[in-house]
Amino acid sequence: MAIVMASSMRDTRDMHKTMWRASKRRLSWSLAASLAVHALAITVIAGMLQSSLMFPSSRVGVTLPIEVALVAQRPIAFSAPPEMPQEAPELLAAERIAEEKSREPKPSASARELPAPTQQPAVISTPSPGAAVPFEPGIEPTPSDAPPPGDVAVGPLNDLDRIGRAQALRLASRYPQAVTKRPLLLDTLTVPYPLRAAFAHRDARITVLMLVEADGRIIDTTLYPDDPFFTPTVLAALRGARFAPADIKGKPVPYWAMMEFVFTMRPVSAPAGVSSLR
């Protein structure tokens, strides 16, 4: 009994060994076949990639197919240029006559008759507020001439309408605080009547806007209107003038001041023995 059992166990062990060897051989053959298939697939794919990524330099000498497409084109029609019209002999003769006339000597400017000058009416310009009056250089007084008599009046002015609304708004913006006392002129001004204006018999009413510092100095002067006959005289009279400055509760402050210069010519009396016609 023991011998039979030992024999059966040995047979079982031999059968297991045989099956294990068979399965090992099958596994080896399967692994070898799989490796061969993968190697073949890698070789094919590598060949395809190499052919598609071939550089242009490697294609030198390789004949490439050339595709040619023949397209029909319409011929361009050329037209002959228009013939130039022949000039008529009458036109050629007229041109020659015009050229001969242009070559003839022309009379000089001194030999031509000048038309008689026409007398132009005198233009009298009237000054407007804020506008400049053109200077008349023809009025030149000589030292021997006595200027016609004229009067000059100077006084303070506080009417901002004389300088315009825009300038008045600028002053209100620059000096918003009301002052206790306005600037006051300390000097007596000597203002002569301008000679050119006197000989031209001109009157004027000049408004002067001045900006006065806290120490009484004039730092800016603007004239309305800026008349070339009277402006130099007004500026010369104000040059060096001193003001008592404006103050707020006893403290000097900068502020504006206005003055008016009125130039008036005296009426010319008729000479003895001459009466006016009515």
Q: Give residue-wise pLDDT tens across range 182-238.
A: 999 998 899 999 999 999 999 999 999 999 999 999 999 999 999 999 999 999 999
Tens digits of residue pLDDT in 35-77:
888 888 898 888 787 765 555 555 556 565 666 556 555 656 5
For residue 98, the model assigns a pLDDT of 66
Q: Indicate the pTM of the whole model.
A: 0.47
Domain 150-265 is found in CATH 3.30.2420.10: yes
> Residue ranges per domain, the chain?
150-265
Distance between CA atoms of residues 129 and 148, nearest Å? 25
Question: How sure is the predictor about 130, in pLDDT bands with cuts at 50, 70 and 90?
Answer: very low
What radius of gyration, in Å, describes the C-alpha atoms of the chain?
Answer: 60
From 107-116, 214-223, 266-275, the region with the lowest mean pLDDT: 107-116
More confident residue, 44 or 259: 259
Cβ neighbours of 127 (radius 10 Å)? 19
Q: Which long-range contacts (CB under 8 A, 24 or more apart) does 169-175 make?
A: 171/256, 175/254, 175/255, 175/256
Distance between CA atoms of residues 148 and 138, nearest Å? 17
The two three-digit tokens of residue 228, written as one number: 């070339």
